[in-house]
Structure 1
């Protein structure tokens, strides 16, 4: 799954990677982004609207759902295109969630050890997501997950769907709605480009948010 991540790359570098026009804006670095908070995404607010980088709520509940409906933070690649809950957003409301890395917890005797997973070159990651207008009128999103690949398999059986550079534009293209077409043109980042290391259990507490959280834990 993907239940916690970090984003501390500066806004201009994220815009440059997607060829977005720069705006007079700054992003505060976040080292412990938790569900149920506003997170930065890249999306088309509507089919005709230009691409923007803005904020959505991390928690997916479509506008037609009841107030008691689930509010998942993840959607699996196996079901996102066919589930009644997700398929409309998968076809029409896809987004990218920028991250410098994500956290995962490795089961150990007597507890779990958190790890930070990121690119070996420390470039930002682009996580595939879907969004929908929620019943309260605010946009909310879920991050897609897939079976873990490469080094991530040693930590957890699942991981976020991390896209390669060539897949970013087609993933965001509102004209692409067919599931099979998307499968052909959208690909995950080569898992051999990922690395990880154990970090402090302080990350378990969402109130903790500082750069030391992504540093290797003291042995």
Structure 2
């Protein structure tokens, strides 16, 4: 799954890494402990003819037509996102990217859960596949796609966010591509061998804790 991540790269670095024409709406504040139920940075087309923009969406997906008691998931699985009634319209028409410098997962260890930070070996930003929809309150809400864990990520958790390879960013964001099979042919995840991880401080367990020290390797 993906329930916590970090984004501390500045806009110029993200813009260079994306390599697509992009407009910025607002400033980015470095965040080392991004939690669900908050506004997060996304890259999306806010309308059919709108330019690509980096703005914010609420991390919690509830489409505008859903009832008040409807679920508000933070993740959507790759196995069901294209066919589930709750997600399929967003998958076809409202895909987005969630930039992240890495994400956290917890490994059961000696009766406790040890947090690990997972990121690219070269420390370049990750681009997590997401979907968004207009929420009942009129604002955008999003969910991050997850897939079965691959490579070193399997050492920590059975699932992981769908991190896309560089060549897949443009087609994932292309509003003209709506078919499941078409997207399956042109969109691919980041190769396994580019990922690494290490254990970090238990301080990340508290959502209120922030700062670069959360990423420092924990003592053995």
Structures share a fold, TM > 0.5? yes
User: Which residue is 2:109 aligned to?
Assistant: 108
Corresponding position: 1:207 with 2:208: yes
- Give the alignment of 1:158-169 within 5 angstroms: 158-169=159-170
Give the drift of 1:73. 0.1
Matches within 5 A, 1:19-98: 19-21=20-22, 23=24, 26-98=27-99
d(CA) in 2 for partners of 1:192 and 1:106?
A: 20
What are the Cα deviations for residues 7-41 of structure 1, in whole angstroms up to 9, with x where unaligned? 00111111122233465953110000000000000
**SS of 1:140 mapped into structure 2:** strand
Q: Is the 8 A contact 1:151 1:195 kept in 2?
A: yes
TM-score (norm 1): 0.98
In the alignment, the residues of structure 2 paired with residue 111 and residue 83 of structure 1 have an alpha-carbon distance, to the nearest angstrom, of 35
Give the corresponding residue for 2:185.
184
Aligned to 2:149: 148
Does structure 2 conserve the Cα–Cα contact (< 8 Å) formed by 1:12 and 1:22? no
Gaps of 5+ in 1: none
Aligned length: 219
Give RMSD over aligned pairs: 1.1
Measure how far apart 1:218 and its partner are.
2.0
